[in-house]
Homo-oligomer: A and B are copies of this chain.
Amino acid sequence: MTMTTQDRHETEKLLTPAEVAALFRVDPKTVTRWAKAGKLTSIRTLGGHRRYRESEVRDLLGGGH
């Protein structure tokens, strides 16, 4: 199952701050700081809340060993 080049972001699954925090075993506020520091890509809702790319989070979790 080869992807042409990359998935279109329209179909990218997004995670809430609480979900990302649970995966890293940190506080949701810590995930917010990562986004502010540019360490993690964040998508903004129209109200200002952040959402994160599942693929990026999974990559960061597995790439650290």
Contact = CB atoms under 8 A, between A and B. Distances in A.
Main secondary structure of the interface of A (DSSP, over half): mixed
A25 to B, nearest CB: 4
A61 B15 contact: no
A43 B14 contact: no
Tell which of A30, A45, A47, A51 has the most Cβ of chain B within 10 Å: A45
Interface residues of A, number: 28
Contacts of A34: 46-47
Interface in A4-60: 9-10, 13-16, 23-26, 30, 34, 39-47, 51, 58, 60
Contacts of A44: 64
